[in-house]
Amino acid sequence: MRSESVIGITMGDAAGVGPEIIVKALANPANLNHCNALVIGDGEQLRRANTIVRSNLQIRSIDNVVQARFEPNTIDCIDLRLIPADLPFGELSSVCGDAAFQFLKRAIELALEGQIDAVCTAPLNKEALHMSGHWFPGHTEILAELTGTPEVSLMLFGPHLKVIHVTAHLGLIEAIEKIDSALVERTIERGRALLLSGEKEPWIGVCGINPHAGENGIFGRGEEKTKIAPAIQRCQARGWQVVGPLPADTLFYRAGRGDFDLVVAMYHDQGHSPFKVLGIEHGVNVTAGLPIIRTSVDHGTAFDLAGTGRADEQSLLAALKLAVELVNLRS
């Protein structure tokens, strides 16, 4: 049964692999039996990618959602016409940085207006974004700013592991300084809310900051006791199945074998590294706490692959599928 959900796919950095993985993902009709996909990007760059990957899809440039037809063998693209025809693949460009921002901005507006049901993002390049004058660390912070959301969390979904981050795009010293028990509790709450299906309470494992989760104060400066444990106690008092703080090295192993539905990581690499080792090609990035649904590939622009046709579309397909699942869960 075909879903009527409309998922807006942003092209990301047009010089990266975004255009190619979009075309590859949408080329097989079997991949679309769960959604109506609408690209927000540049029509001509999609046509170039279409040629590179040797696809026979038709690219329809449109101006608004109403014009979309969602016909077989066709990609509808809200075409912002921001990319020069001679733009090379695989090179940093302020033009692409600004265009990636504008693609995302338009998609957010459409989602907030209810014209699309979710946003699914192809990768942007942070350096190109900054070159164009948009001083954001990445997608997550842009989404928070443009939706007027004071605080969000970066969350990773994979076949064997789900991870939410208390801090994300911060240096390690800054991250540790920012962590407090209130932020840990709010992060747990956002992750739990995304996993709730009405069937069961999820089991949530919370990482410590230090090796061996501090081992009762032997390592670190008591961060587990002051910054993490009080949050866990408050969550347990609310009837939630939250355990920790636990040593990260064993917690991820236990979560991978199915002991936990969600891991709460304290900082970026603590969560990202084990997640990507388990399979980056099927990973999906979700922004928890937004008023809209946003999923994303869990990889970068891969300039070394851009324009070759070899980029893998599996993460984008996983992001599309999860977007529909979250739309259905919310509705």
Task: Tell me the pLDDT tens digit for each residue of 73-124.
Answer: 999 999 999 999 989 999 999 999 999 999 999 999 999 999 999 999 999 9
Mean pLDDT of 22-32: 86
Q: Which residue has the higher pLDDT, 159 or 173?
A: 173
> Are residues 289 and 272 located together in one domain of the fold?
no
Q: Is residue 83 located within the same domain as residue 201?
A: no
- The set of long-range contacts for 60-65, using a CB threshold of 8 Å and a minimum separation of 24, is 65/6, 65/38, 65/110, 65/115, 65/116
pLDDT at residue 280 greater than cutoff 80? no
97 with 215, same domain: the answer is no
Looking at the predicted structure, is the pLDDT value of residue 198 above 60? no
Whether residues 259 and 170 fall in one domain? yes
With H, G, I as helix, E, B as strand and everything else as coil, classify residue 203.
strand
CATH number where 177 lies: 3.40.718.10
Q: What is the 3-state secondary structure (H, E, C) of 267-328?
A: CHHHHHHHHHHCCHHHCEEEEECCCCCEEEECCCCCCCCCCCCCCCCHHHHHHHHHHHHHHH
pLDDT-derived band at 281 (thresholds 50, 70, 90) equals low
Res 33: pLDDT: 66
Measured CA to CA, the distance from residue 156 to residue 139 in angstroms comes to 14
pLDDT at residue 230, as a whole number: 97
| Paired tokens of 264 | 């709460």
Residue 3 has pLDDT above 60, yes or no: no
**83 in the same domain as 223:** no
Which of 254, 278, 302 is the endpoint of a domain? Answer: 278
Q: Are residues 36 and 62 in the same domain?
A: yes
Are 119 and 221 in the same domain? no
- Considering the chain, what is the average pLDDT of its residues? 92
Measured between alpha carbons, how far is 251 from 70 in angstroms, rounded to an integer?
44
- Residue 288 and residue 247 share a domain: no
Same domain, 271 and 299: no
What pLDDT sits at residue 2? Answer: 39
Which residues form the domain of 120?
1-152+284-331
Q: How many CB atoms lie within 10 A of CB 235?
A: 22
Least Cα distance to 24 among 214, 257, 297 occurs for 297
pTM over 0.85: yes
pLDDT at 219 over 90: no
pLDDT tier for residue 217 given thresholds of 50, 70 and 90: confident
What's the pLDDT tens digit per position in 114-169? 999 999 999 999 999 999 999 998 898 999 999 999 999 999 998 889 999 999 98
Do 173 and 39 belong to one domain? no
Cα→Cα distances 268→124, 167, 171, 264, Å: 18, 6, 9, 11
The tokens describing 262, both together, are: 């969600």
DSSP 216-256: TTTSSSSHIIIIIHHHHHHHHHTT-EEEEEE-HHHHHHHHH
Count structural domains, the chain: 2
Residues 12 and 137 in one domain: yes
In terms of domains, do 180 and 84 share one?
no
Rounded average pLDDT over 282-299: 91
CB 118 within 8 A of CB 111: yes
